[in-house]
Structure formats: C-alpha cells, structure tokens
Amino acid sequence: MSSLSYLAAATRAVAEEMRRDDRVWALGEDLGRGGVFGQYRGLVDEFGDARIADTPISEATIMGAAVGAALVGTRPIVEMRFADFALCAVDEMVNQAAKARFMFGGQARVPLVIRQPSGMWRSSAAQHSQSLEAWYTHIPGLVVAAPATPADNLGLLKAAVRCDDPVIYIEHKDLWALEGEVPDDGEDVLVPLGRARLARAGDDITVVTWSKMVGVAEQAAELAAAQGIAMEVIDLRTLWPWDQEAVFGSVVKTGRLLVTHEAVQVGGFGAEVAATVAEDLSDSLKAPVRRLGAPRTPISYAKPLEDQLRITPERIAAVAAEMLGD
C-alpha cells in the first residue's frame, strides 16, 4: 500500500482506465489545464487533447455529446466541475442517458461516468455547495456512487468507468486533500458498486452515511466512545444500488439506526434507508430510527452561517446518546 490524496487517487483511476481501454476519454470545461481542482493534471500530456477534451461552457452540450458518444461505443468520463452546474444538463442525464437502455429494449446502453464535485467547501455559497445525490437515486437507470476515502475514489471510479450504465459519481470537494492508503501502482483493484464498507465496528448503534460524512461519523464515534457508546459506522459508498444486506446485518446487531448526511434532510436519501429499515426490521429495533441532515435552507457564503448548517461530530454523538436513552 502507498499514500495518496483523494484527488490524486481519482487522477490515477482515470489514467489507468484510459491506458487499459482506448474507448475511455474525458470531456469538460478546463480539462486541458488540469480541471478546476487539478483532478486531470498531467493527463493531456499523456493522452492528448482528443481524449482529454476541452469543451464550450455549456453543460447541456457536454452531456449531450457524451450520451451520443456512449451510445456509439465509447466510454466517456464527463466532468461537470460542480454538482450545481450539472442541473443545466438534467434532461440529457434523466431523459436520455438513464432511459436509453430501457427504451431500446436492452439493445443500447450508455456507459458513461458523470463526475459531480459536491458539498460545502470554503464558503462557496448557495450555487456551488449543494449535495443533490437524492435527486439521482430517484431516477431509474442511474447508478449513484459517493466515495469517502482515497482508496474508494480509486477503486470505485475504476468500477464506474467499466459499468455499462450511466454512473452519477459524487466527489466531495472538501475531501480533495484527504490522504489515505491505496493499492500500489500496477494493482488493478476495483471497489464493487453496491457494496458498503464497515468503517468502524460497534455494538450499540448503527450510523449509516456516505462521502465526507463518513469521516465526521468516525470522529463522532470517538466522542461517543468516551461516553461508553460503541458506534458502528457503515459507509454506503454506493447509494444506488445500496447495500441493504450490510445495513440490515448491522441494525439487527445493534437495534438502533441513525442515518446522517450533509444534504438537506427533507427528501434526502437518508429517508429511503430509514424507511426501509423501519418497514423491514421493526421487530429488531430498540429505538425509533433517526435521521440527521441539514435544514431546508440555501447555503450561505458567510462562514458562521454556513457552519450552522453543518452536521458535526458533536451533533451525531448527541443524537446517539439520546437514542441510547430511549
């Protein structure tokens, strides 16, 4: 194993997949200069501007071109720069990419990866900070992934590129600098889509989350441990399909479930996990299922106001303690 940042792990994943398969290519704004966050840095030097393609400033054009290219046999990686900007290309994602396989009776597929840097980051304000993963889990035909670690941003992105269906690939902007162990160069290690990761073992309460909130939940588990609470943290990694078996197994053991995410709590994907567990495991629960997400309000530029919306380790630990008291 070696150490790599979350950002560098993704760069490595793209490079390895492009070397492995000459049908893989990337397109988006500013890729020639390395991407807005530097996640494509150096790739144009190796692969040229035909495979690391700069595009006009038009998300609908970018997505439409990628969908067409995928339908005729290539495997595009689409860079949306910010998850918020991808809203300009929702028709191409939702009405074209997601439905083509079904509408053509399986005769056509759309193997593309749509990278959407997401979440609150450095006072980026209301139009550059949203977490919109729940929108895409609602759409049949889309796979939705949200890696939390450098190792997963390597292995999960490689698996997404090889998937024959469109993958909404959500990378949290606040994780770019996160360092962690990854397989050594030359190891072709994939993280299967649809399989969760046990981030921390515990017997008292199950916390299910994804993306940046996994690290926050792990910090909360440390705080809870000081109170004698053993918190189990499940990193979903893929939101659709999500690993019901892993979640159910943990909840049967602990009898308690808290689902937490940075996204707005109203209509968030946590509600799907919570409802499924409440419906299927009611006899195993020792306390009502709880959710913890952001309030339904735009994200402010001002850091003190932005911080009011954040889910912190202290908030997670406090809810866990309440649930142990039920």
**Complete edge-to-edge strand list for the sheet that includes strand 197-200:** 197-200, 231-235, 205-209, 257-264, 290-294
Q: Give the residue-averaged pLDDT of 299-304.
A: 86
pLDDT confidence of residue 19: 97
pLDDT confidence of residue 326: 53
- Asked whether the beta carbons of 44 and 31 are under 8 A apart, the reply is yes
Share of the chain above pLDDT 70, in %: 100
DSSP 275-311: HHHHHH-GGG-SS--EEEEE-SSPPPSSHHHHHHH--
Which range, of 4-8, 72-76, 301-305, averages the lowest pLDDT?
Answer: 301-305
Residue 290 has pLDDT above 70, yes or no: yes
Give 109-132 pLDDT, tens digit per residue: 999 999 999 998 887 777 787 999
Helix axes 150-162, 6-20, angle to 10 degrees: 30
Supply the residues annotated as catalytic: 128
CA atoms of 145 and 164, how far apart (whole Å): 14
Give 13-47 pLDDT, tens digit per residue: 999 999 999 999 999 999 999 998 999 999 999 99
Which range, of 149-153, 258-262, 308-312, averages the lowest pLDDT?
Answer: 308-312
Ordered domains of the chain (ranges, CATH): 2-182 (3.40.50.970), 197-325 (3.40.50.920)
Q: Give the residue-averaged pLDDT of 295-303.
A: 88
DSSP 191-233: --TT--EEEE--SSEEEEE-TTHHHHHHHHHHHHHTTT--EEE
Q: Give the residue-averaged pLDDT of 299-306.
A: 86
Give 197-253 pLDDT, tens digit per residue: 999 999 999 999 999 999 999 999 999 999 999 999 999 999 999 999 999 999 999
Q: Is 230 exposed, middle or buried (0-12, 13-18, 19+ CB in 10 A)?
A: middle
CA atoms of 91 and 97, how far apart (whole Å): 9
Average predicted confidence (pLDDT) for the chain: 95
**What's the pTM?**
0.94
**Complete edge-to-edge strand list for the sheet that includes strand 52-54:** 52-54, 24-28, 75-79, 113-118, 167-172, 143-145, 238-240
